[in-house]
Structure 1
């Protein structure tokens, strides 16, 4: 491809800032290795001014979480007429909101856990679902603020407002039944599902620390699972990517209850700005398919062009 002036947009102020900075550094170095001129921008409130001054050919969006993943930055760049990688405004608005995502995908046969949005204050009176269940923010990624509420756990019964948990940070939460079993994930690049990875946390569950701390989670790629589970996960991920209107790359996360076979495979969420760190899953699955990191980054740029 032609050599371009590319802004790598990273950082920002979300809970995933440090991961975004790591993703951005890797992307910038890969693009420079391919001969592109790269300008790194750690996003601040002056983003529009900095983009106007920089005049890039394209922006590589390496932001994670709000406002880089929720449509805000996408809308700004649309207004400025600047091309950018990954999904556009409408897709970003829907996919970061777990409840909106269900409203789009479930009617098309994508199996997702049934749940409901609850006020955090209501949790102090009674459980919204039978235990065990999961509480998570409606519009955060990377397992930020996820709590598994079990019988005899440390949160109290009912949950105590003085106990640390997402109810202290967010006014509203999504409550879902806890799906026992195995953690799977599938990346989609362009119009192709790449592979299925099983994530095996060495302790606890696949939370933010387990995702981004080296040695805390074993990645098995390709996952050692039956062919029908692999095929179903890849099919659901690709269908979700298309139904939501994702562009470039996305990553779909699953829980699989082995005792129920294919009927026990549930899509949890779709990430439109998947990580690009050395521990991230999209680069890992791309490598399995013979696509090195620098080629992956350039493919995302080409898709946006």
Structure 2
């Protein structure tokens, strides 16, 4: 197949996770970009007919744009691999490492990346040991402001910044709404950065960091997906040394977790210039207000070029295997 010939690409979007609407928006943007790049694109929801469809159609490449458990917990990625369908992005095993924030944080800490001090609590332990006793230990260990979040999931759903200790119980309830395990971590104050890592076959490259300045002070779900609620600086206004350290840490995260093709790694850079790892996303948001498209633009490229390159490198990798 010549470079000028388009591939048959199935873009997966939707699913049944809390992030379905965001995924649909990402999927439409990816489909539009790949169509502009000259590929034949079909947009599909991961329903009961999907696997028979893929087995019958045998597309050249599948491009998942599924956020939340639908695409990022590794289950579907394992099934796509079992079907032998070339798929843009990470393997199921790598996705599981990133999907679990405690696992990802532990691996990154071992790799030398700064990770906020935290306590991981299952809902079961929280009930059995008594909420009051558990929270007392948490308060003593993590004095000061903390962030409470589900141990898995994205789009900042279930995440609470706790500045008043009396708000901690409610924050725990909110986190447990989205996952059976919650993370309470020491809050790092600084500049929030998102760094996109792209690998089209020549090794992972960090795109320009996107600096996030939410109007309300917290980069929550509404601030992520409603235009005008956050100011983005692409590239970031931080100094060269700080940006280099964050970019290097993003590459370390991508490689340590075994990620592939495309990821987004989020950090807080403190006053000393240290980038603190928050999370890694194997299928980051690709909507009109998402961070990856901003990074692509800041790099002087466009979605059609980058997504098209990912599709072609995925097809080439599968052909070579």
Q: Do both share a fold (TM > 0.5)?
A: yes
The root-mean-square deviation of aligned C-alpha atoms, in Å, is 1.8
Q: 1:195 to 1:32 in 2, by over 3 A?
A: same
**1-structure distance, mates of 2:82, 2:180:** 31
Question: Partner residue of 1:173?
Answer: 182
2:101 alignment partner in structure 1: 98
Confirm whether residue 296 of structure 1 aligns to residue 314 of structure 2: no
Measured after TM superposition, the shift of residue 103 of structure 1 is: 2.4
Query: What is the CA–CA distance in structure 2 between the aligned matches of 1:8 and 1:197, rounded to whole Å?
Result: 26
Partner of residue 195 from structure 2, selected from 182, 186, 192: 186
Q: Structure 1, residues 86-117: CA drift from partner, whole Å, max 9, x if none?
A: 11111101011111112222111111112121
Runs of 4+ deviating beyond 4 Å: none
Is the counterpart of residue 200 in structure 1 residue 213 in structure 2? yes
Q: Distance in 2 between matches of 1:101 and 1:233?
A: 17
Shift of 1:281: 1.2
Answer yes or no: is the 8 Å Cα contact 1:247–1:303 preserved in 2. no
Structure 1 length as normaliser, TM-score?
Answer: 0.92
Corresponding residue of 2:318 = none
Superposed CA deviations along residues 9-57 of structure 1, whole A, max 9, x for unmatched, are 1100111111110111111112122222111101113321221233211
SS at match of 1:245: coil
What is the count of residue pairs matched by the alignment? 298
Query: Matches of residues 27-42 of structure 1 in structure 2 within 5 Å?
Result: 27-42=30-45
Matched, 1:234 2:247: yes
Aligned twin of 1:116: 119
Provide the residue aligned with 1:66 in structure 2.
69
> Structure 1 residue 209 and structure 2 residue 222: aligned?
yes
CA contact (8 A) 2:213 2:231 kept: yes
Inter-partner Cα distance in structure 1 for 2:219 and 2:245:
22
Q: Which runs of 5+ in 1 are unaligned?
A: none
Query: Which whole-Å CA distance do the structure 1 matches of 2:235 and 2:191 have between them?
Result: 14
Post-superposition CA distance 1:263-296 (Å, at most 9, x none): 3x20111111111111111111111111111111
Q: Which structure 2 residues correspond to residues 254-293 of structure 1 after superposition, within 5 A?
A: 254-258=267-271, 261-263=272-274, 265-293=275-303
Aligned counterpart, 1:26 = 29
Shift of 1:171: 2.9
CA contact (8 A) 1:23 1:62 kept: yes
Q: Give the 3 Å change call, closer, same or farther, for CA 135–142 of structure 1 in structure 2.
A: same
Instruction: State the 1:180 CA deviation.
Output: 1.2
- The TM-score, its normalising length taken from structure 2, stands at 0.88
Shift of 1:164: 6.2
Work out whether 1:221 is the aligned partner of 2:234: yes
Change (3 A) 1:36 1:118: same
| Structure that is richer in helix per residue | 2
In 1, the alpha carbon distance for the partners of 2:187 and 2:19 equals 24
User: What is the CA distance between 1:194 and its match in structure 2?
Assistant: 0.8
Partner of 2:89: 86
- Asked whether the 8 Å contact 2:105–2:277 carries over to 1, the reply is no
Alpha-carbon shift at residue 152 of structure 1 (Å): 6.0
Q: 1:75 to 1:160 in 2, by over 3 A?
A: closer
**Structure 1 CA distance for aligned equivalents of residues 34 and 236 of structure 2:** 30
The separation in 1 between residues aligned to 2:170 and 2:105, in whole angstroms, is 29
Once residues 160 and 106 of structure 1 are traced to their aligned partners in structure 2, the CA distance between those partners, rounded to angstroms, is 29
